[in-house]
């Protein structure tokens, strides 16, 4: 019996193009690739945060977020409405889940006095890095012509997700007993 090899490389992108879901080929400099490539980077950082998360509920939420990021990536990587309709999507419930988690964690936090300077503990910093990558993904997505309801919902989700990571950074800092560093414009 001959064993098949599963190669990661296809060589089809060697000339600077790649295929979208649906089959069309685009340049690797296409705005869509920048957007879902940034989401892929975000997903990796979310995995890192999840590896260090201290609360089981947070770990579970972060895993759900990672699946939602994959859904968002696939929606952005699709070339036609017909193909888009066959893919899973996000819902308002997914956004409400983020809002619920933001509200749950915020109940345990002091009022924010000023801008917060990231740092104090590696996990807190990782949360802030995830937040900034999320904002970059949002900016990349905003450059696209997103007019399908599935696409527009992903933009709303990513916007809310960056808020989630900001609050998560504060929540983790409190859980770890790390003092928040407030920006003082006078210094």
What is the share, in percent, of the chain residues with pLDDT greater than 70? 83
Q: Which of 106, 155, 126, 140 is nearest to 31 (CA)?
A: 140
Task: Check residues 133 and 12 and name the one with the higher pLDDT.
Answer: 133
Task: Please state at what angle helix 122-142 crosses helix 149-176, rounded to 10 degrees.
Answer: 160
- 49 inside domain: yes
Is the confidence at residue 15, as pLDDT, over 90? no
- 7 inside domain: no
pLDDT band of 19, cuts 50, 70, 90: low
Task: Check residues 2 and 143 and name the one with the higher pLDDT.
Answer: 143
Is the confidence at residue 14, as pLDDT, over 60? no
Give Cβ neighbours of residue 86 (< 8 Å, ≥ 6 apart): none
Is the confidence at residue 160, as pLDDT, over 90? yes
Number of domains in the chain: 1
- 10 inside domain: no
Q: Which two tokens stand for residue 19?
A: 């295929």
- 169 inside domain: yes
- 91 inside domain: yes
- Please report the pLDDT score of residue 3 as a whole number: 66
Check which CATH number belongs to the domain holding 50 and give it.
Answer: 1.20.1200.10
- 9 inside domain: no
- 1 inside domain: no
CA atoms of 101 and 38, how far apart (whole Å): 24
User: For the residues 32-36, what does the mean pLDDT come to?
Assistant: 81
Q: Which domain holds residue 137?
A: 27-106+118-177
- 12 inside domain: no
Q: Which of 44, 37, 35 is nearest to 144 (CA)?
A: 35
């Amino acid at each position: 019996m001959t064993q098949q090899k599963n190669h990661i490389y296809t060589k089809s992108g060697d000339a600077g193009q790649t295929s979208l879901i649906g089959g069309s080929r685009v340049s690797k400099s296409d705005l869509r690739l920048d957007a879902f490539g940034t989401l892929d980077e975000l997903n990796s950082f979310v995995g890192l945060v999840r590896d260090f998360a201290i609360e089981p509920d947070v770990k579970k939420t972060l895993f759900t977020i990672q699946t939602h990021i994959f859904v968002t990536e696939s929606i952005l990587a699709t070339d036609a409405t017909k193909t888009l309709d066959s893919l899973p999507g996000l819902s308002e419930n997914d956004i409400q889940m983020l809002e619920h988690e933001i509200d749950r964690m915020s109940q345990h936090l002091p009022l924010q006095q000023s801008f917060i300077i990231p740092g104090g503990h590696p996990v807190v910093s990782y949360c802030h890095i995830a937040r900034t990558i999320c904002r970059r993904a949002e900016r990349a997505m905003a450059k696209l012509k997103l007019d399908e309801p599935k696409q527009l919902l992903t933009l709303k989700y990513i916007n809310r997700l960056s808020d989630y990571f900001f609050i998560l950074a504060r929540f983790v800092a409190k859980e770890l007993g790390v003092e928040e560093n407030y920006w003082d414009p006078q210094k």
